[in-house]
Amino acid sequence: MNDFNFYKSQGISDAVEKIADQPDAKFIAGGTNLIDLLKYNLMTVSTLVDVNSIKEDTLSETDGAVLLNAFATNANTAYHPIIEERYPLLSKAILAGASAQIRNMASNGGNLLQKTRCYYYYDANTPCNKREPGSGCSAINGYNRNLAILGTSDHCIAVFPSDMCVALAALNATVCVTGPDGDRKIPFSEFHRLPGNTPHIDNNLLTAELITGIELPSKGFEKNYSYLKLRDRNSYAFALISVATAMELENNQITEIRIALGGVAAKPWRVQKAEDFLVGKTPTKENFALAAELIVEGAKGFEFNAFKIELAKRAIIRNCLMALNPASQLPGAQPSA
């Protein structure tokens, strides 16, 4: 770690002002990603601005919608009775990520901003366009088992590794931010970015903008939902593929469905065409299989991750079937049914 200053912020505007004043200052919440990156010297900071003093409740409810506090921990969010009852998909996805200790520390805002787990991003001795724009991408022709199959570019094939965000994408969440120019809201689908030729920019948050909350629309899909996470070990590992399904059924017909994939791209992946296709259909393996084809359309495998295309399709089918019977699901977002 480099030497830096520490500042305990007194509130949202105080924190934003402090960062706006100093180009190399950064917010720190749980620290579970930032301290790690600082230890690897992948980032340097002049001042860390602690946002933990911005203490409020885990969430608030208005007109049926729920506003998650960005500074609340992932654990308090996942175990909150309102989230467990009304948004169990979100609860499941959060609990599938990291470990109990890390979830006790990690904040909701920080979760949206975690860095990729591309091996080469972490190895400062190798070229990486995300870490050092223009230096090249070591992963495209390197060991790319945990990297992307969708939305890649010739400059970067990194995956955005969050579990929580896969559920937030399926729930059509909105990110609330405050910056030097005031407040704004960013729809979840427009928050994270595909690499294109600017892979060093992960998302559309501007300098000195602070995430203050995440809005969940009133619809929580608490009857038919499932989160499935496939990985190299059963727990405490990042996803190779994950799937969030939120479904509404009437007389055994799908009236609404959302399917979001994690582990496949630089952002949670949703395909409108596939969701539209399923509306009005019966929830069968055959229909989910047809939708899965639409979701992975255009996928491109690399030397060590081409298997993920088939794995993604099977995971989509399995997870949509699991969503029919949430009660049968196992702890840790493992395959069931």
Partner 1 sequence: MRTESIQPPPEAKNSETVTLHINGEARTLSVKPWVTLLDALRENLDLTGTKKGCDHGQCGACTVICDGKRILSCLSLAVMKDGAEITTIEGVAPTGDLHPLQKAFIEHDAFQCGYCTPGQICSAIGMFKEGKAHTEAEVKELMSGNLCRCGANTNIINAIMEVKNGGNYE
Positions touching ligand SF4 (CB under 6 A) are 116, 118, 120-121, 128-130, 137-139, 147, 156-158, 199
Q: How far is the CB of 102 from partner 1 (least distance, A)?
A: 6
Applying CB under 8 A, the span of 63-71, 122-130, 165-173, 196-204 interacting with partner 1 comes to 122-130
> In sequence order, what are the residues at sequence separation of 6 or more whose Cβ sits closer than 8 angstroms to the Cβ of residue 221?
87, 89, 170, 171, 246, 247, 248, 258
CA distance 242 to 255: 23
CA distance 271 to 140: 24
Contact of 68 with 77, CB cutoff 8 Å: yes
Per-residue binding string, ligand FAD, 221-260, x by CB under 6 A, is -----------------x----------------------
Cβ distance to ligand SF4 smaller for residue 157 or 317: 157
Instruction: Note whether 239 and 229 are within 8 A (CB).
Output: yes
Lay out the site mask for ligand FAD across 108-127 (x = CB under 6 A, - = otherwise): -xxx-xx-------------
Return d(Cα 329, Cα 337) in angstroms, integer: 7
List the beta strands (DSSP E) in 111-252.
Answer: 174-179, 182-187, 210-216, 224-230, 241-250
Judged by beta carbon distances under 5 to 8 A according to partner kind, the member of ligand FAD, partner 1, ligand SF4, none in contact with residue 121 is ligand SF4
What gap in Å lies between CA 185 and CA 176, rounded to an integer? Answer: 5
| Minimum distance of ligand SF4 from residue 105's CB (angstroms) | 24
Residues near partner 1 (CB under 8 A): 1-6, 22, 24, 28, 30-32, 35-36, 38-39, 41, 44-48, 50, 52, 75, 79, 98-102, 104-105, 124-127, 131-132, 135, 234-236, 330-332
